[in-house]
Structure 1
Amino acid sequence: MMSQDDAHRLAYLEEARELLADLEASLLELETTPDDTDLLHKIFRAMHTIKGSGAMFGFDDIAAFTHDVETVFDRVRNGQLGVNRQLLDLSFHACDHIRALLEPGLDQDAILATQGRTILDGFHQFAGEDAAPSLPEAPREGHPPEERRGCQPLIYRLRIKPHADMLATGNNPLHLLEDLCALGDCRLFLHTEALPALDVLDPESCPVWWDCVLRTTASRQEVSDVFVFAEDDCELIIDILDDSCAEDGEQAHKLLGQILVERGDITPEDLEAALSSQKRLGDILTDQGLVHPTQVASALAEQSAVRTLGQKAQPERLEKTSSIRVPADKLDFLVDLVGELVIVQAQIRQAVDERGDPALRSLAEHLERLSDSLRDSTLSIRMLPIGATFTKFRRLVRDLSGELGKEIELVTSGEETELDKTVIERLGDPLVHLLRNSIDHGIENPEVRQAAGKPPIGRISLSAAHAGGEVLITVADDGGGLDAAGIRTKAEQRGLIAPGADLTAKELYHLIFQPGFSTAKAVTSISGRGVGMDVVKRAIDALRGSVEIDSDPGQGTAITVRLPLTLAIIDGLQVQVAGEYYVVPLGLVEECVEMARQADGAERRIVNMRGEVVPVMRLRDVFGLGGDAPAIEPIVVAKVDGERIGIAVDRVVGEHQTVIKSLGRLYRDVEEFSGATIRGDGTMALIVDVPALVRRVAETDGLR
């Protein structure tokens, strides 16, 4: 069984990977807007979180490495260093190095240490410093990691008095307070008693100071680290007012006099003398000139803040979190159970229909509604926006374009489009190959583009959109397009097609998906071995999807991937043909109509629907089933690629919750079916892949 420490470490690993993804996205934005100070603060905070949490959970190597990188970025955000490509390249290498250090069980300590030293040397050279010193030990002051894990928040008191010349050193106290507020619930009190008149105010000095009450789960060292680069420029006092890790978990709120004595604003003797009067303590101390009115106001603010934060602590411990992390295998197991429940529910419904008992029918209908809701809820948990996957590709385009000496801009759209978690996970590699292909083969070199009248910066578009029960993902570039003649020559040389074979442009384009096929003149580290596009085709086929290619010579290429929304459960329309049952995905179905035979008994190939001519294909003929069609045939009207297609069947059974079962490797080349499902009586029904079926019929028999 996993220990609590192991669970915390796993949680940190997952959080760190998310932070690294956000960090890379921010670095890519910084490359286009190097003067964005908010972005620099965001990058610094991400690094600070990775470092602080790494030290807390025992990842000392990550904490030490990130500390040096963070130091350089602190100088950048303070305006002492500028943003350029060298800094960004080093930062991306640093992200890769931290990601490698996160890998569990990686036995390459010596290699990683050398890589880390090389990266840090690069940062120090960028900053104009000597080579990096030996990696320091991760900070361990305050509560040790084993003591701070799982603790409730602490309440800290901070007194921050900037020196008069603090601004001249490049430090800005407002930035420090910003970082402090990012650690938790922060209450600030500004002291202005030393602020001179406006006519004698030195604009380069800092005559104000702050008292602060901070409630946070961060350790004392993490709070102190906020001021690590300003220690010599300010007077800093940090005290713990309330330690929620104490056994009793509670501490009485302190009186005003106690707070002032603890702060050193008054002595115990002054307090004792003041208490002998009948006035309020704050008024007494102010009247006697022992404290300034702002000091009393600050102490009262602290007293109120501690009381408020202390009262807030208890309900927050019981409050539900807005989200939780669930292991993927548990979620997959839940979906499998829901799938089995859907099958059993269908069997119960059929049994109830056969018995005809009204009471049982009512219960069965209620069970069906609950089953539908549970199915929809479970599947919605698995649906994730594809935008996170798109973000990862910005780094890929940047690195490869730089390696090839090309200037390429990646434009994304439709990031909010949701897709099944499993589909997204298995979609990464195919999209990587498509993008690499566009970068290497599609986009020309800047000189070639300019000679052709194009802008020197190439453009790759990555988009996603819903289309019925499918998701369309398109990778398009404005490069030179596919060379149909070159593809034909290469295919004839390899014996893939007969010399002079009559093929359409699209048929020629699809030859690039053949194993080992490549038109590259030389093999490079990026492409040329004819593997990438073959991987794309196999991966998309495994997801029950399809790939389409459109290319305009000299203008660019667009590759569209069609994928089902989910691989688990769908709504389907169950139909019957020649005694066999089939399921048509309901997301593609527009309506059902009927078509009678012609007077001479001939079968119709088209149907007139409110003035629109819709071609019809008969499943009986397409699948080679025997028997005679009924005199009046039901027509299921589906929409494929924007066109309406009629599917003639013998009988429309009705809607059916379809739990998709794989057909197995033996039938992997049967494109017309995307899977199978189990009906209520235990028999099997095949799930029709309507787009693939339409394409096959159009290629063989034609639709007219």
Structure 2
Amino acid sequence: MIDQHRQAFKEEAYELLAELESSLLELEERPDDQDLIGRVFRAMHTIKGSGSMFGFDDIASFTHEVETIFDMVRNGKLQVTGRLVNLTLAARDQIRAMLDAADSGEATDLQASAGIIVGLRELAGFQGQVAAEAHKEEVHEAQKDPVTYRIRFAPAREIFVSGTNPLTLIAELKELGACTVVAQTAGFPCLEEMNPESCYVYWDVILTTDQGENAIRDVFIFVEDDCELKIEPIAEHNRYEEQQDYKRLGEILVERGDITSDAMRAVLSQQKRFGELAISQGILHEGKVQAALAEQQHIKEVRQEKQVAEASSSIRVPAERLDLLVNLVGEMVTVQARLSQTAAQRDDAELMAIAEEVERLTAELRDSALNIRMLPIGSTFSKFKRLVRDLSAELGKQIEMTTEGAETELDKTVIEKLNDPLVHLIRNSIDHGIERPEARVAAGKPERGTVHLSAVHSGDSVLITIADDGAGLDKEAIRAKGIERGIITAGAELSDKELFNLIFAPGFSTAKTVSSVSGRGVGMDVVKRAIEALRGSIDITSVRGEGTRIMVKIPLTLAIIESLLVKIGNDSFMMPLALVDECVELTREDVAAAHGRNLAHVRDQLVPYIPLREHFAIPGAPPEIEQIVITQVNGVRVGFVVDHVIGEHQTVIKSLGRAYKDTEGISGATILGDGTVALILDIPQLVQAAEAAQA
């Protein structure tokens, strides 16, 4: 159980660190935003408290130092500066390193931690005198004006599961001042219905303190999402207050919301004492009356001595369980296809009705399971803000990153595999695209360059665009490098699209100097392979002096895709439907008219095609009329000749075994309804192989 709690803490801490990074980057732009300052403080406070609770003492003690600084910022004793943001981002990275080290067992860099702490303490020292005076004034004022608060703390029933003990929070409250606590036990079930891991009690607390409401809220900051918390100031104690009796019992209960005014008046119309009558008539539980009486008595004693958030309905599920669920749904889709095919062959109306119902339920289950794995791409976008910030500072450039469509959802697996290619594309935009400030001013542009990242749904795919307003691609430099590398001939006539695609050749780079960012000719070919491995495509447009736009098209999910089922002889193949434009016939006359060239005349255009029977060396004679499936890869139309086009098909992707994983032109396999295997064609790789063979 302890290990489960530690793992839960780590998962929550990683989420908090991601939120912390995005909050700090926003705070750098809006240093006076109190909401952002509060978010940073709460993230640190939660990591510190939970870390201490689950044995991460090094993280708790280190985070305490940063939390202290942001407590000063929150109270107006310290200003947000670039140095403070830099140190806090470094602290965030160090906390993440500590979390990673807890898994790997490696020692953390204590010297780095110490350096960050020294820097933070220096910042606090600059304001030491002002802070001390402000603190002195605050204490003086607080001592002069203590306040009594009415607190209702109702933890979620499952609070024990997270390892939180509510009594430690009550004990912490008592340290703030004179405190009266009444436990409400009306929610306890019968003994046989009681769950020992559930919390059935809540507390009414009356607290007199000179610390202020923020100090009270800080006590409950770890469990804000797991409790109902109400804090109301009910009395101020100073030398000018009138010494009069506190509110009557009925008035207190109406204020608390435990009884209505009408019910109070109905009880008061009788002769007995209010509390006794309310209990005897079943209007109130005895505990609630006791709490109100305790509040009344507490105020009397203080004067004599001189004076939220609802429980979260979401649950955390390990990614492995979601992957298993999607795999099982995939198996079910395969079985459902087999059932439908069997029902059609038997021509049994009742069996057909059952098969149709199973097909409907399976489709709903498939969509629901895939939607569970969907995440907004904004979680990836937020990471890139830090990349742009750090890299622009390293290169001496002024760059702003803007985003659009952060709410666009993608499969979790796709997002994870997309991270590295996008990082490289953004780094290239910053290094090659955006000019230095002096060069931009000379070109009539603003000093600050812009990298715009956007995402939008397009059918069963997502279009991700990285656009910059930099210098654009130098076509002549690309052409010269292509000739030098022997990729193209000196007299070759290429369109802009074909020219720009040269930068995806292995080892291609036009950088004149090698930097820590780029210039070694490693990367863009890897980016293209990574995108194509996701069954996606990448397209570049650029205008010299105005900027470059790179568009990446990625399927929503990798688990189940819509495909076109085709046959060559007795073999079945799948082609991703997202890449298919249309299907046309290829007759013997068409082949003869092409004079030995693999070209088809389609809608007044010549479309090159690849005969798959020849490519895969499949024996047998083709039919008199074949079919050309025309696809579009990187903006270029290419046809694939097959014997027959069967139709659309829900394809559950199965990876190939180790012996076949490097087979050219095949990206996976699927099982058809009759139990046979169909291979999934890797369209971009087949086009690439044909181009290489032609060259």
Scaled by the length of structure 2, the TM-score of the pair is 0.71
Deviation at 1:458, TM superposition (A): 0.8
Match of 2:192 in 1: none
Deviation at 1:649, TM superposition (A): 6.5
Q: 2:423 aligns with which of 429, 432, 446?
A: 432
CA gap 1:155/1:639 in 2 versus in 1, 3 angstroms: farther
User: Tell me, what secondary structure is at the counterpart of 2:455?
Assistant: strand
Is 1:557 aligned to residue 548 of structure 2?
yes
CA gap 1:618/1:90 in 2 versus in 1, 3 angstroms: closer
Moved more, 483-492 or 14-23: 483-492
Deviation string 1:273-299 (CA, Å, 9 cap, x unpaired) is: xxxxxxxxxxxxxxxx9899xx9xxxx
Kept in 2, the 8 Å contact 1:510–1:549? The answer is yes
Provide the rounded CA distance (Å) in 2 between the counterparts of 1:141 and 1:659.
Answer: 47
User: Tell me, what secondary structure is at the counterpart of 1:13?
Assistant: helix
CA gap 1:648/1:496 in 2 versus in 1, 3 angstroms: closer
CA gap 1:154/1:527 in 2 versus in 1, 3 angstroms: farther
Q: 1:681 aligns with which of 669, 674, 681?
A: 674
Deviation at 1:655, TM superposition (A): 3.6
Match of 1:653 in 2: 646
Is 1:255 aligned to residue 252 of structure 2?
no
Q: 1:159 aligns with which of 185, 204, 207?
A: 207
Deviation at 1:619, TM superposition (A): 7.4
Which consecutive residues of structure 1, in runs of 5 or more, have no partner in the other structure? 132-139, 164-172, 199-211, 214-249, 268-288, 296-304
Match of 1:422 in 2: 413
Match of 2:234 in 1: 191
User: Tell me, what secondary structure is at the counterpart of 2:316?
Assistant: coil
Is 1:115 aligned to residue 150 of structure 2?
no
Deviation at 1:399, TM superposition (A): 0.7
Match of 1:483 in 2: 474
Match of 2:561 in 1: 570
Match of 2:63 in 1: 66
Match of 2:382 in 1: 391
Is 1:534 aligned to residue 525 of structure 2?
yes
Q: 1:20 aligns with which of 12, 17, 21?
A: 17
User: Tell me, what secondary structure is at the counterpart of 2:80?
Assistant: coil
Aligned-partner residue type, residue 674 of structure 2: D
1:312-351 equivalent positions in 2, closer than 5 A:
322-351=313-342
CA gap 1:26/1:614 in 2 versus in 1, 3 angstroms: same
Scaled by the length of structure 1, the TM-score of the pair is 0.71
Kept in 2, the 8 Å contact 1:472–1:561? The answer is yes
Deviation at 1:597, TM superposition (A): 10
1:83-482 equivalent positions in 2, closer than 5 A:
83-103=80-100, 104-109=102-107, 112-128=109-125, 152=199, 155=203, 157-162=205-210, 173=212, 175-176=214-215, 179=218, 183=224, 184-192=227-235, 255=290, 259-260=294-295, 263=298, 265-266=300-301, 322-482=313-473
Provide the rounded CA distance (Å) in 1 between the counterparts of 2:585 and 2:528.
Answer: 38
Aligned-partner residue type, residue 562 of structure 1: K
Deviation at 1:599, TM superposition (A): 13
User: Tell me, what secondary structure is at the counterpart of 2:513?
Assistant: coil
Provide the rounded CA distance (Å) in 2 between the counterparts of 1:471 and 1:545.
Answer: 9
Provide the rounded CA distance (Å) in 1 between the counterparts of 2:661 and 2:304.
Answer: 90
Provide the rounded CA distance (Å) in 2 between the counterparts of 1:35 and 1:261.
Answer: 42
Match of 1:224 in 2: none
Provide the rounded CA distance (Å) in 2 between the counterparts of 1:669 and 1:523.
Answer: 35
Deviation string 1:101-154 (CA, Å, 9 cap, x unpaired) is: 111245554x522211110110111122699xxxxxxxx999689x99978476
Kept in 2, the 8 Å contact 1:520–1:528? The answer is yes
CA gap 1:414/1:643 in 2 versus in 1, 3 angstroms: farther
Deviation string 1:590-612 (CA, Å, 9 cap, x unpaired) is: 8889999999998995677xxxx
Is 1:53 aligned to residue 44 of structure 2?
no
Provide the rounded CA distance (Å) in 1 between the counterparts of 2:348 and 2:288.
Answer: 69
Kept in 1, the 8 Å contact 2:537–2:634? The answer is no
CA gap 1:593/1:433 in 2 versus in 1, 3 angstroms: closer
Aligned-partner residue type, residue 185 of structure 1: E
User: Tell me, what secondary structure is at the counterpart of 1:75?
Assistant: helix
Kept in 1, the 8 Å contact 2:581–2:631? The answer is yes
Aligned-partner residue type, residue 431 of structure 1: L
Aligned-partner residue type, residue 468 of structure 1: G
Kept in 2, the 8 Å contact 1:577–1:620? The answer is no
Provide the rounded CA distance (Å) in 2 between the counterparts of 1:622 and 1:464.
Answer: 38
CA gap 1:128/1:571 in 2 versus in 1, 3 angstroms: same
Is 1:31 aligned to residue 28 of structure 2?
yes
Deviation at 1:555, TM superposition (A): 1.7
Deviation at 1:261, TM superposition (A): 8.2
Kept in 1, the 8 Å contact 2:539–2:635? The answer is no
User: Tell me, what secondary structure is at the counterpart of 1:70?
Assistant: helix
Kept in 1, the 8 Å contact 2:507–2:521? The answer is yes
Provide the rounded CA distance (Å) in 1 between the counterparts of 2:634 and 2:498.
Answer: 18
User: Tell me, what secondary structure is at the counterpart of 1:326?
Assistant: coil
Aligned-partner residue type, residue 190 of structure 1: P
Provide the rounded CA distance (Å) in 2 between the counterparts of 1:355 and 1:151.
Answer: 55
CA gap 1:18/1:475 in 2 versus in 1, 3 angstroms: same
Kept in 1, the 8 Å contact 2:24–2:40? The answer is yes
Aligned-partner residue type, residue 415 of structure 2: I
User: Tell me, what secondary structure is at the counterpart of 2:109?
Assistant: helix
Which consecutive residues of structure 2, in runs of 5 or more, have no partner in the other structure? 129-163, 173-195, 242-254, 257-284
User: Tell me, what secondary structure is at the counterpart of 2:506?
Assistant: coil
Task: Give the total of aligned pairs.
Answer: 580
Deviation at 1:422, TM superposition (A): 1.0
Provide the rounded CA distance (Å) in 2 between the counterparts of 1:331 and 1:343.
Answer: 19
Deviation at 1:697, TM superposition (A): 9.1
CA gap 1:162/1:354 in 2 versus in 1, 3 angstroms: same
CA gap 1:49/1:460 in 2 versus in 1, 3 angstroms: same
Provide the rounded CA distance (Å) in 2 between the counterparts of 1:642 and 1:378.
Answer: 33
CA gap 1:452/1:623 in 2 versus in 1, 3 angstroms: farther
User: Tell me, what secondary structure is at the counterpart of 1:540?
Assistant: helix
Provide the rounded CA distance (Å) in 1 between the counterparts of 2:510 and 2:585.
Answer: 50
User: Tell me, what secondary structure is at the counterpart of 1:23?
Assistant: helix
Deviation at 1:453, TM superposition (A): 1.1
Kept in 2, the 8 Å contact 1:615–1:645? The answer is no
Provide the rounded CA distance (Å) in 2 between the counterparts of 1:567 and 1:85.
Answer: 42
Provide the rounded CA distance (Å) in 1 between the counterparts of 2:638 and 2:529.
Answer: 28
Aligned-partner residue type, residue 112 of structure 2: Q
Amino-acid identity (%)? 50
Aligned-partner residue type, residue 86 of structure 2: D
User: Tell me, what secondary structure is at the counterpart of 1:127?
Assistant: helix
Provide the rounded CA distance (Å) in 1 between the counterparts of 2:119 and 2:44.
Answer: 18
CA gap 1:123/1:251 in 2 versus in 1, 3 angstroms: farther
CA gap 1:83/1:622 in 2 versus in 1, 3 angstroms: farther
Provide the rounded CA distance (Å) in 2 between the counterparts of 1:265 and 1:197.
Answer: 16
Deviation string 1:375-434 (CA, Å, 9 cap, x unpaired) is: 222212222211101111101110111111111011111212221111111111111111
